[in-house]
Amino acid sequence: MSLASRLLADLPLVTRTERVGALAIELECIEDFEAAVTVFTDRVLGERLSEAVFEDLCPMFGAMWPAARALAERVAATPLDGVPVLELGCGLALPSLAAAARGAAVTATDQHPATEALLARNLARNGLDVHFARFDWRGQAPFADRSFAVVMASDVLYTATMGPLVLDTVDRFLAYGGVAWIADPGRAWLEDFAAMAVARGFAVDMDVLGPEDGAFVLTLRRMAGAVLPP
């Protein structure tokens, strides 16, 4: 058993129905994130592992965050038949599942070593097809630059310093004429990120979406225009 599997075994999971637009998606996810972190921390301490291991393997990937719900709402409202879609830092990948249900050709990516196994179970549960790639944004990509009509991410601006990396990654993989969606719970530096995107040559719109908790969804389009409807 791998280190990640050993540390993440027996986390408190539950199956929930996430309703986004007209879609109902069944997700196995962490029931209580704080309880899961407590279990995980006890295992890290018990095995005398480093703080770096805790940061790399912390089970944030398995929780359902409001920004991901909001992004999935945007996805579910958009015609995506045959459209190549990339999700960055997918975690539970609810937006990717919503995109696949809308007919998109989806690639979901994440760094966490346990993401793929949980995603595979949720894909099978819903009869959907999403390609997964483990990907460090600073490293070599397993797909071509400028190859996705839609690039999307939620809750990736978790520190102010993440803005340039997120924007570089979006810019790298978004096809000319494409659209990017970045969902965020409304952190203090979100407007700074929007201004940075405008300076990079994107038109930026901001909406508030989400049936319960709400989140901000930024829509980035290259100034040349987008292939998808607003």
Same-domain pairing of 9 and 80: no
If one counts the domains in the chain, the total is: 2
Tell me: pLDDT of 132 over 70.
yes
Vertex 161 angle, CA 155 and 162, to 5°:
35
The range of the structural domain enclosing residue 201 comes to 62-222
Question: Mind listing the pLDDT tens digit for each residue in 19-55?
Answer: 999 999 999 999 888 888 888 787 776 777 677 777 7
**Residue 195 maps to which CATH number?**
3.40.50.150
Same-domain pairing of 25 and 118: no
Same-domain pairing of 45 and 110: no
Instruction: Give the distance from CA 218 to its chain's centroid.
Output: 14
Q: Is the CB of residue 13 less than 8 Å from the CB of residue 39?
A: no
Q: Tell me which residue has tokens 């890290």.
A: 44
Same-domain pairing of 171 and 214: yes
- Spatial separation of the C-alpha atoms in residues 96 and 106, rounded to whole Å: 6
Question: Mind listing the pLDDT tens digit for each residue in 65-117?
Answer: 999 999 999 999 999 999 999 999 999 999 999 999 999 999 999 998 889 99
